[in-house]
Chains A and B, each alone.
Chain A
Amino acid sequence: MDYLDRLEAEAIHIMREVAGQFERPALLFSGGKDSIALTRLAEKAFRPGKFPFPLVHVDTGHNFPEVLAFRDKLAADLGEKLIVRKVEDTIRERGLVEPGGKYPSRNPLQTYTLLDVIEEFEFDACIGGARRDEEKARAKERIFSVRDDFGQWDPKRQRPELWNIYNGRIRKGENVRVFPISNWTELDVWNYIQRENIALPNIYFTHERECVVLPSGQLLGLSEHITIDEDDEIVTRNVRFRTVGDSTCTAAVESDAATIDDIIQDILVAKVSERGATRLDDNLSETGMEDRKRNGYF
């Protein structure tokens, strides 16, 4: 078997374990390529049956409109249930402070909405598209990762994960985050998307966009959510996005890649890792991701 077939078989096996072990699982769906790949794996795991879980999207209100449209169409085409919960509702209901600043990120506030939706539907397992190659703290994450009542991750109390036996036994109030594509790299996901002919939101491909040039040299697409000052440098470039997060904290990269083949070529020559190129929130401190994960972030 080719390595991609092996990774696929492993992911399908993990998804079916979720279906077999939990009463109320959910698939966290962001509209990004990794969660889109998860829906293809779920089709392979459960068709001709329905998915044994709904798709759940935590909408920050800062998402790219193209991605939201894609999300709705995909859920409709699949004929599966989609649950959307909005960060702005959480902000209102909980009286949270809307993040300020020039490029306000609702990314940290997503965690509240996520924990609320888990509580609302009593989800006992949430499938996510995180990969171990994304970041150093993620490299230590289990495939079945148990979270306490507060959604917190304690790296020192992780269960040992032996062979491909996944222990999802939890106490009331706890839940499990499950990462079926843990062992995939960014390139593996792209190779899979190409092989399976999976459709993606068009912001992954080259397009002309007005961007502000950040002090780091990174490009951030203009949107109503960020503040532009007089001395900001605004440019129009051919760009694409390597990840699909909030429009306020996901930088664009200059690229003429119009097809998946082009993107794979782009990655093969790219020398900057995925999160480093595009995520403004991880650069804050060396342990940005670990700290957020401890607090319940995905």
Chain B
Amino acid sequence: MDLLRFITCGSVDDGKSTLIGRLLYDSDSVSLDVLATLEKKRNATNSDSVDLALLTDGLKAEREQGITIDVAHKYFTTPRRKFIITDAPGHVQYTRNMVTGASNADLAIVLVDARQGVIEQTRRHTLLASLLGIRYFVLAVNKMDLVGNDEAVFQKIKTDYDAIAQQLRLPHVIAIPLSALNGDNVVRHSPSLPWYGGPSLLQHLESVPTVADANPHEPRFQVQYVIRPQTEELPDYRGYAGRIQSGVYKVGDKVRIQPSGLETSIEAIEVNQKEVPSAEAPQAVVLRLRDDIDISRGDSIVPVHTHPAVIRELEATLCWMDERPLKAGRKLLVQHHSAVVKASVSAILQKTNIETFESVGTDEAKLNDIVRVRLKTAVPLVVDEYRSNRVTGAFILVDEQTGSTLAAGLVTATEEEYFTQEIAVEPAFSI
């Protein structure tokens, strides 16, 4: 059985929590005592049906306000697959949660209200999900019952969304008409929507390929921890523990340690103390090397025939997540998985308008802004562009004093010739 991680995005009243509640409910993933709590609630508020949204709204403030504030995780299993749902809030001010949720997802469900159609938030959520590298999109047109299950309404929304999909070059998109409240086309096909011949939402979720396997990529491995027992039986044992980030590693591979550039080869690969001939992403392994080289946490071990960028200057797209705006010249930390290095933002180049998808010049990044910046680091990073490797192309920015996570970063260019032309910022008032 395999695993699919997906994110649900939509606006406040699109019925996102109800949709998740429906998936859990109809796939028999809700237990009796949880249902009893819902039933108690229903009686107290004198409503007709159980409020499925209560299954996902976890915090006191969320239930009081009837909204979702923070990313929540839900789990369900069908005979075919285990699913991890990341439920990201839909408010404008919570873009950072949406980016957080999308960073770990294989698929995005973009929810729209059939009465409203495609709105600004639909564009924004789709852009963010696509930016974070999600390849599979489901346009879930919800509340079809409230528009008389009218096919023309659905087709109009689908056409509007196709324009977004084309603009962002989304590789896989499917549109499904449904009603989360009534359960139409969520798990089972609905007789209310006879004109729709495609799969139900769950059928689709069960059949899309899981793209989490990063194995078509070049092999990448970063050292997390060095195992040195220094016991009588194992006086010289040195194992480099880490997770294979992408690709396949084999015993005998000639490898280069980066950023030092020293070369050796793989003597053994251990998984759970047993030697194996090869291992693949995302397995957690221990590598032993032929030669005794000085290697520490954060170093990368890559086959000599592949070439990650080993650089101190790069261009990246950031989603800024801190209240305090980012200005050029700011010093901070880059955390690239197990490597943490000092860095400075040498230039803020442009900002993406998340409604029109256009880029404009800017000299600062405010909370929830998507900006392109140039970074300089104190020691070299071993990276790939995000579009070619979703693991090694990702990093976060961290405040050195408070430890707060300031931004999500995606490596966009690693070679100077592909750097963006610096955009001159017009003064606000010309004389």
Asked, given contacts A9-B284, A160-B97, A160-B405, whether A16 binds B335 with beta carbons under 8 Å apart, the answer is no
From A166-174, A200-208, A235-243, A250-258, give the one contacting chain B: A166-174
Q: Would A273 and B396 count as touching, CB distance under 8 A?
A: no
Q: Which residues from chain A contact B84 at a C-beta distance below 8 Å? A: 183
From A41-49, A84-92, A93-101, give the one contacting chain B: A41-49
Asked, given contacts A16-B224, A48-B234, A49-B229, whether A139 binds B33 with beta carbons under 8 Å apart, the answer is no
In chain B, what residue has the closest Cβ to A276? B33
| Alpha-carbon distance between A13 and B242 when the two chains are bound, in angstroms | 7
A185 in contact (CB, < 8 A):
yes
A interface, CB within 8 angstroms of B: 1-3, 5-10, 12-13, 16-17, 19-20, 43-50, 52, 132-133, 136-137, 139-140, 146, 155-156, 158-165, 167, 169-171, 174, 182-183, 185, 187-188, 270-273, 276-277, 286-287, 290
In chain A, what residue has the closest Cβ to B298? A20
Contact of A9 among B32, B239, B282 (CB under 8 A): B282
Q: Would A45 and B73 count as touching, CB distance under 8 A?
A: no
B338 in contact (CB, < 8 A):
yes
| Alpha-carbon distance between A3 and B84 when the two chains are bound, in angstroms | 11
Interface residues of B in 200-250 (CB under 8 A from A): 212-213, 224-225, 227-229, 231, 234, 237, 239, 241-243
B280 → chain A, closest Cβ, in Å?
8
Q: Would B338 and A20 count as touching, CB distance under 8 A?
A: yes
Q: Which residues from chain A contact B32 at a C-beta distance below 8 Å? A: 271-273, 276
Asked, given contacts A133-B75, A160-B97, whether A276 binds B34 with beta carbons under 8 Å apart, the answer is yes
Asked, given contacts A48-B237, A48-B273, A139-B72, whether A160 binds B321 with beta carbons under 8 Å apart, the answer is yes
Asked, given contacts A49-B227, A136-B58, whether A183 binds B241 with beta carbons under 8 Å apart, the answer is no
| Alpha-carbon distance between A11 and B284 when the two chains are bound, in angstroms | 9
| Alpha-carbon distance between A50 and B297 when the two chains are bound, in angstroms | 18
Interface residues of B in 359-387 (CB under 8 A from A): none
Q: List 26 A-B contacts (CB under 8 A).
A: A1-B280, A5-B283, A13-B224, A16-B224, A16-B225, A16-B241, A47-B272, A48-B231, A49-B228, A136-B58, A139-B58, A139-B72, A140-B73, A155-B59, A156-B61, A159-B404, A162-B100, A162-B405, A165-B395, A167-B335, A167-B398, A169-B403, A183-B84, A185-B77, A276-B33, A286-B37
| Alpha-carbon distance between A163 and B282 when the two chains are bound, in angstroms | 13
| Alpha-carbon distance between A272 and B31 when the two chains are bound, in angstroms | 5
B254 → chain A, closest Cβ, in Å?
25
B interface, CB within 8 angstroms of A: 1-3, 31-34, 37, 56-61, 63, 69-75, 77, 81-82, 84, 96-97, 99-100, 103-104, 212-213, 224-225, 227-229, 231, 234, 237, 239, 241-243, 272-273, 280, 282-284, 297, 321, 333, 335-338, 340, 390-391, 394-396, 398, 401-405, 408
Q: Would A155 and B70 count as touching, CB distance under 8 A?
A: yes
Q: Would A9 and B283 count as touching, CB distance under 8 A?
A: yes
| Alpha-carbon distance between A272 and B204 when the two chains are bound, in angstroms | 29
Of the candidates B63, B75, B338, the one having the most CB atoms from chain A within 10 angstroms of its own CB is: B75
Q: Which residues from chain B contact A49 at a C-beta distance below 8 Å? A: 227-229, 239
B285 → chain A, closest Cβ, in Å?
9
